[in-house]
Chain A
Amino acid sequence: MKFTLRQRQIISAYLFLSVSLLFFIVIRWYPTLLAFNISFRDWNVFESSGPWVGMDNFAEIWKDAFKPRSAVRAAFTNTILYVAYGVPLQLILGLGVALLLAQIRRFSAFFRVAYFAPYVTSAVAIAFVWNWLYQPQTGLINQVLSALNLPDQPFTSSPKQALQSVTAVAVWQNVGFAIIIFLAGIQQIPETYYEAARIDGANGWQIFWGITLPLLNPVIVYLTVLSTISYLRLFALVQNMSPQGTGGPLKSTTTVVLEVYREGFSSYHMGYAGALTVILFFVILAITVVQLKFLTRRFDY
């Protein structure tokens, strides 16, 4: 049998795509539909099925979200707080360090390595190291505080400080990524803009507000979206920074994903956990849609 060149191309294309198409259908699309299906059922993992209960799981989440001391209410409020504290802090510190790195002429490789190292380190190891640093009395931070005659801080052992203490670690771990992306953005701004501004007599502050910041706008939007999504998905750090991994003390650090894990894989409420992930999906989808609206021409000036 003889094929034309065009027919041969079509056959090759589908041959090359075959395994991957199968993968995306079986491992991505089917489970996505299954996730929606599970969220409408009273799903039992050991029987791989359960009766259809309609919106019951969502109604239950809605009800729990208004119960004063429920885990889900804590998970929703905490997750919003992680985003609200973490994202601005990470962006401001990331931009600050990137601007400083753009100033210096030597040792920039050393600084890059130091700021980026936590980003490639496992969140579990990082959680343990900070648990130790945060320890009351024996932890390094409290030892330093008492050497300076300052009062001991409870950090993650008090519900009042735990969430902020975990946020600080998340920022510490992820700021390196923001630095690298900001650095790429800063270096793309043409040097001639700065020269022109200097000739016109602009000072450093005016150059920052008038040139650097406006031209970094696409990078800022991009990093805001990316870090918002990553803070919405916080799990490993939170689980390993709370005693027993429950998002304590008193649920003060728990997140939506940690509750998904606990409901689904400790209590086996798969339907309820599935409904939580569907909610997470719609939140991330909304953010992605907003990103597409704001970011049509990324990194092009």
Chain B
Amino acid sequence: MTASIETSAERTIQLAERVVSSPVRPRGRFSWAEALAYLLLSLGVVVMVTPFVWMLLTSFKPAPELTRFAFLPVNPTLENYVRVLTTSSFGRWYLNSVLVATISTASVIFFDSLVGYTLNKFEFPGKNLIFIGILGTLMVPTEMLIIPWYTMSVDFGWHVGMAQYWGIAFPGVITATGIFLMRQFFDGVPSELLDAARIDGVGEFGIWWRIAMPLVKPAIAALAIFNFIGNWNAYLWPLIVANGRDFYTLPVGLSFFRGESTTEWEKIMTAASLASIPLLVVFLLFQRQIIKGIALTGLKG
């Protein structure tokens, strides 16, 4: 399907694509400016990467090695990992985080694109009011809603037992930013195509799901990435609503290492590694798509 009119949504995709593509410039001669750029960027990389490296190295060091200055562990050990994994509920926290982030993201993809599509492609009374009503919620910071959300959760029992999964996830199952993003991207789907399907007798839901949705895949990927990372790292609300360590998400569970012992850094660094490495690995594997996705949502949002 080729839409001849270049929409603003397509321009944004191209722009995000350019952010992650290497610049195609002639292989010119050596220039001092470029050499200086490499030098400065490399110095910056040292600052950006050292904390991660130091975290990992510390996690493999036995406690006595922490007071002496040595960059690499002298007697590398996995004992810290064994200790953290056996004395905490890290496995459960992984499960909780994966569950909450996956469910929220799946729900966001479904509802945000359905609403974005409806607001773009349908004419109906009250459309502007609904659009403004959804967009207006972006003005309200979530910090203002945590107290009402908490009293609601207490009233409905969302802060106890299995209902806590819903309690943690509910604020993010539909997002105004995502609706706004998808509404703009459905501009690129020509209405004539949808009308043709209508004449062929395809139902309205089928037109959206089977014809319109496949045409906005890049936007859906961006929305999914943006949401998954956001939910995975969400902290303030899960900290408030999750009750008891079996229902903590990774950041919440990790935060309780703060009080445990401020001197056992090898243990704290092991916990920090366990909590951050999985997403960092995912990031390294999909860096192109992730940076493109963040650029896309950042540019549109």
Contact = CB atoms under 8 A, between A and B. Distances in A.
Interface residues on A, range: 35 or more
A234 to B, nearest CB: 11
A187 B236 contact: no
B141 A281 contact: yes
Contacts of A114: 44-45, 48-49
A130 B51 contact: yes
Contacts of A112: 20, 287, 291
Contact of B47 (A38, A107, A172, A278): A172
A128 B147 contact: no
Contact of A243 (B33, B232, B262, B279): B262
Interface string B44-68: 1101111110110010000000110
A287 to B, nearest CB: 10
B236 A235 contact: yes
A150 interface: no
A4 interface: no
Contacts of B130: 17, 21
Interface in B67-118: 67, 69, 111, 114-115, 117-118
Contact of B240 (A16, A172, A183, A265): A265
Interface in B229-263: 229, 232-233, 235-236, 240, 250-251, 254-255, 257-259, 262
Interface string B34-51: 100110110011011111
A218 B92 CA distance: 45
Contact of A135 (B137, B255, B265, B272): B265
Contacts of B279: 120-122
Interface in B212-232: 229, 232
Nearest to A242: B258
A19 interface: yes
B200 interface: no
A184 B18 contact: yes
A128 B269 contact: yes
Given A23-B173, A115-B48, A172-B48, A260 B143 contact: yes
Size category of the B interface is: 35 or more
Residue in B205, B254, B272, B284 with the greatest tally of chain A CB atoms within 10 Å: B272
A177 B298 contact: yes
A277 B171 CA distance: 17
A167 B12 CA distance: 32
Nearest to A180: B295
B124 A277 contact: no
A10 B272 contact: no
Given A111-B45, A129-B54, A20 B15 contact: no
Contact of A9 (B45, B124, B205): B124
Contacts of A5: 198
Contacts of A164: none
A105 B22 contact: yes
Interface string B125-151: 101001001100101110111111111
**Overall SS of chain B's interface:** helix
Contacts of B155: 48
A180 B147 contact: no
A107 B290 CA distance: 18
Contact of A184 (B146, B179, B299): B299
A172 B299 CA distance: 21
Contacts of B299: 181, 184, 299
Contacts of B240: 261, 265
A299 B208 CA distance: 30
Interface string A267-295: 00010011001101100110010000000
Interface string A85-107: 00000000000010011111111
Interface in A116-157: 116-126, 128-133, 135, 138, 140, 143, 147
14 contacts: A9-B124, A20-B114, A24-B137, A28-B145, A28-B176, A32-B148, A109-B20, A111-B45, A128-B268, A132-B268, A138-B265, A240-B258, A257-B236, A280-B143
Interface of A: 5, 8-10, 12-14, 16-17, 19-21, 23-24, 27-32, 34-35, 38, 43, 45-46, 48, 97, 100-109, 111-126, 128-133, 135, 138, 140, 143, 147, 172, 177, 180-181, 183-184, 187-188, 204, 229, 233, 235-236, 239-240, 243-245, 257, 260-261, 264-265, 270, 273-274, 277-278, 280-281, 284-285, 288, 299
Query: Which 9 A-B residue pairs are closest in the complex by CB-CB distance?
Result: A31-B148, A34-B148, A13-B122, A277-B144, A103-B37, A12-B204, A125-B276, A13-B124, A125-B272
Interface of B: 15-16, 18-20, 22-23, 25, 27, 33-34, 37-38, 40-41, 44-45, 47-52, 54-55, 58, 66-67, 69, 111, 114-115, 117-118, 122-125, 127, 130, 133-134, 137, 139-141, 143-152, 154-155, 170-171, 173-174, 176, 179, 198, 204-205, 208, 229, 232-233, 235-236, 240, 250-251, 254-255, 257-259, 262, 265, 268-269, 271-272, 275-276, 279-280, 283-284, 287-288, 290-291, 294-295, 298-299
